[in-house]
Amino acid sequence: MQINVSYITANEIMEILGVGRSKAYEIVRIMNEELEHAGYNIIKGKVPVRYFQKKYYGCEMSLE
């Protein structure tokens, strides 16, 4: 069984959304809190790419 989970960091969020460092870290922190309250294990400073895409684009997007 192969599981492929990619994570996005605050630095990447800064570039994608065009926000500052503190805002990017706030976004990561909020999304991690949401995931944790939903019962998922989290990795501080990182968020699953699929979750980020769903939150900010409404769907999963291809990373080509």
pLDDT tens digits, one per residue of 7-23: 999 999 999 999 999 99
Q: Which helix (H) or strand (E) holds 40?
A: none
The tokens 């409404």 sit on which residue?
58
pTM of the model: 0.80
Residue ranges of domains in the chain: 7-57
- Strand (E) positions, 1-64? 7-9, 46-48
* pLDDT, tens digit (0-9, with 9 covering 90-100), for 30-60: 999 999 999 999 999 999 999 999 998 886 6
Angle between helices 21-37 and 10-17 (to 10 degrees): 120
